[in-house]
Structure 1
Amino acid sequence: MYKVFVNDKPFFLTNQVVKETDFQLFLLESVDIKQIIVKMFQNKIQKAFLYHPDEKEIMSKLKEKIPVVKAGGGLVYNKKGEVLFIFRNGKWDLPKGGIEKGEVIEETAIREVEEETGVSGLKITSKLQKTYHVFKRNGRYKLKVTHWFEMKTNFEGIPHGQAEEGIEKVAWLNPAEIKEALNNSYENIKLLFEQEKILQ
């Protein structure tokens, strides 16, 4: 099952039909995906399930219906075990950005973290899960697929936010501060921390 966020509200791609009542179920094959996205942006749908019988096909079916943008980002630890966060648009987030021509996704992730935070000396230690969210640009809805990587760095300088990307603050947060920051973050960022069990 995949979880895709539209304005922090989830729709699930599933090959299971569940008898529940607090969401709407649609057939992925025949649904007008744009209509669902618009209703989610308008708060008319809080949660939806898109059903397709073949789990292997499910994500490619969605990608046939909506243009995809690929991005890379980092969950970066320093020597003290703190995690690198950025603050923009009034929320805490992790550094990430779109892939450029000729790059492999690991290069994208490292470049974006460096550009958005000024932190260098990054080493990828493992591949994390991908997250999915829908956004609107120039009147069109797109699906952003972000590939996340755990990184480590011995960087000891002062991180600084990339102003042209609207980043107001960059901070190293310890586990207690991370918990606090996640109260004012995005659902797919929370998902990463749930999976990494950092805060257990």
Structure 2
Amino acid sequence: MYKVFVNDTPIIITSSLKNDNKFPTYSFKNVNFNEILFKLKHKDFLGINLHSTNLENDWKIFTKNLNIIPAAGGLVLNDKKEVLFIFRNGTWDLPKGWIEKGESIEKAAIREVEEECGVFNLNLIKPLLTTYHIYEQNGLNLKETHWFLMSSDYKGKLKPQIEEGITKVDFKNEEESKNALLNSYENIKLVYDTYKEQ
């Protein structure tokens, strides 16, 4: 299954015919992607299921006309198991950013967390998941973000990367994290939920 967000509204490409989410389901082969994107951007649907008979092949077709923008980030825990959040453009988020040419996904994830938060001594624990988000900027782009679970015993002062629009960086306990997620993005909620499930 692939879940791709368009302005926080999901396109779910799946080989399963089971529909737990109550979104309309269409055959992948019979859809007009431009029409779907238009409808999702204008909130005509809360989400949509695309049923695929060949998931990997259909994913290649889906991504063929999109510019893939690879990114990496982290859900970082301190020694109290609090989660590191950033506040950017009025929304709580997790640190992430583009992968530079020749850089590994893991190195990019650590570098971005360090740069955006001023946190160090990062330990990469394991991959969590990959999220997908479509946005328009010089054409249609698919941001493919590889998320890692990390930990840090850093006790110094956290420093938000102001030039990236980040105004706050905080470690949050479970209750504070849940409150922050009320003002966050759907793919960030997905990252947090994946961490909690594991």
Q: Does 1:179 align with 2:178?
A: yes
Q: Distance in 1 between matches of 2:69 and 2:181?
A: 25
Q: Within 5 Å, which residues of 2 pair with 1:14-163? A: 14-18=14-18, 22-138=22-138, 140-163=139-162
- Does the CA-based 8 Å contact 1:28-1:61 persist in structure 2? no
Q: Secondary structure at the match of 1:3?
A: strand
Closer/same/farther in 2, CA of residues 155 and 33 from structure 1, 3 Å limit: same
Deviates more, 1:117-126 or 1:17-26: 17-26
Structure 1: unaligned runs, 5 residues or longer: none
- Does the CA-based 8 Å contact 2:134-2:142 persist in structure 1? yes
- Corresponding letter in the other structure for 1:146: T
What is the RMSD of the two structures over their aligned residues, measured on CA atoms?
2.0
Q: Normalising to structure 2: TM-score of the pair? A: 0.91
Displacement of 1:30 after TM fit? 4.9
Q: Distance in 2 between matches of 1:87 and 1:31?
A: 37
Q: Distance in 1 between matches of 2:58 and 2:36?
A: 17
Q: Distance in 1 between matches of 2:102 and 2:93?
A: 26
Partner of residue 169, structure 1: 168
- Does the CA-based 8 Å contact 1:124-1:151 persist in structure 2? yes
Deviates more, 1:157-166 or 1:94-103: 157-166
- Does the CA-based 8 Å contact 1:68-1:143 persist in structure 2? yes
- Corresponding letter in the other structure for 2:79: K
Displacement of 1:56 after TM fit? 2.9
Question: Percent identical across equivalent pairs?
Answer: 45
Q: Distance in 1 between matches of 2:157 and 2:38?
A: 41
Q: Normalising to structure 1: TM-score of the pair? A: 0.90
